[in-house]
Amino acid sequence: MRNIKKLHKAEYRPMGDLKTWSPLPTNRLQMIDPFIFLNHHGPQTYPPNNNGLPFGPHPHRGMETVTFILDGDIAHKDSDGHYSVIESGGVQWMTAGRGLLHAEVSSDEFKEKGGPLEILQLWINLPKRLKMTQPSYKGLQKDQISVWKNEDETVQAQVVSGNFKGIRGAFDTPTSVDLSLVYFEKDARIKLEIPKSHNIFFYVIRGKLEVNEIEVFELHLAEFSKNSEILDIVAQEQSVLLLGHAEPFEEKVVFGGPFVMNSEEEIRQAYEDYQAGKMGSWED
């Protein structure tokens, strides 16, 4: 079975009244190539007449954002003309590529009525050859996303990209990344085979899982070695897991706020292009 090198507790980084946990990056773990960033917002309940999510217009270049709406909703708008409101159980996938502006806020209905909210956003790097690709966006509601279930339905995987036990993911992506949300009933068990060469992203959103005989508690990210293909997962209680894996790019990564490139010069160019309006304009 594949060994766990270390467990990483998410750091609490609230954004005003928005509860936020961040397991990546931290001082202890910079990235799990090509997975570079995760924010876990909530769970919490917003009152009526709230201000909703605070993520107004901002740019990105050189990476992808994958947003999981476990509860609540997100109204997405970007400078390429995409607009959607994705509700509980839905997923958004945006490839920033050469650059665009986007906003992720709560719908008018959510701001008026309030309600429970829990959202995760994962950033996935793009390889050098795709840094300046054409931007794209797709948002899917819960019933549009593929699901794998075991025989007794004690494990259900929402297959977002790649494949999970033969079920193809709902999103076609520019790189080969397998990504699923996996829901476990207490005492449920599943065995997975993941190529040895792949890096694994294993974040327990809720509950407690035992993976390869090591307990991983909620709000923890497991960092794996590459000694085996096998993951043997047993749910100690009802649990939710964000599971990803991919071949690492093994390229230099330079962060510049919302931009992820391969050199400091490319970061400077990204800021210049943004300020010159080359990533699009914004109209409310």
User: Each residue of 239-274: pLDDT tens digit?
Assistant: 999 999 999 999 999 999 999 999 999 999 999 999
Whether 260 maps to a domain, the answer reads yes
Domain of residue 153, CATH code: 2.60.120.10
pLDDT for 185 beyond 90: yes
What's the residue count for the chain?
284
Whether 146 maps to a domain, the answer reads yes
> Are 42 and 119 spatial neighbours (Cβ–Cβ below 8 Å)?
yes
Cα 39 off chain centre by: 8
With a CB cutoff of 8 Å and minimum separation 6, the contacts of 91 are: 66, 67, 68, 69, 139, 140, 145, 158, 160, 170, 171
Query: Which residue type, as a one-letter code, is found at position 238?
Result: Q
* Residue that wins the pLDDT comparison between 281 and 157: 157
Report pLDDT for 281: 87
Taking all residues of the chain, what is their mean pLDDT, rounded to a whole number? 97
Whether 57 maps to a domain, the answer reads yes
Q: Which residues are annotated as a binding site?
A: 58, 60, 102, 104
Cα–Cα distance, 245 to 179 (Å, whole number):
7
* Average confidence (pLDDT) over 54-77: 97
Whether 282 maps to a domain, the answer reads no
Report pLDDT for 116: 98
Cα–Cα distance, 50 to 276 (Å, whole number):
34
Whether 280 maps to a domain, the answer reads no
Q: Which residues are annotated as a binding site for Fe cation?
A: 58, 60, 102, 104
Report pLDDT for 211: 97
Report pLDDT for 282: 86
Report pLDDT for 108: 97
Q: Record the tokens describing residue 74, joined without a space.
A: 């997100």
pLDDT for 202 beyond 80: yes
Kind and range of the H or E run holding 40: strand 35-46
User: β-pairing, 35-46 with 115-125?
Assistant: antiparallel
Kind and range of the H or E run holding 259: strand 259-261
Q: What is the pLDDT of residues 97-140, one digit of tens each?
A: 999 999 999 999 999 999 999 999 999 999 999 999 999 999 99
Report pLDDT for 283: 79
Whether 283 maps to a domain, the answer reads no
Whether 281 maps to a domain, the answer reads no
* Average confidence (pLDDT) over 162-179: 95
- For residue 189, give its domain range: 4-275
Number of domains in the chain: 1
pTM of the model: 0.97
Burial of 82 (0-12, 13-18, 19+ CB in 10 A): middle
CA distances, 180 to each of 63, 72, 150, 161, 162 (Å): 19, 19, 15, 7, 9
Q: Give the confidence band of 80 by pLDDT, cuts at 50, 70, 90.
A: very high
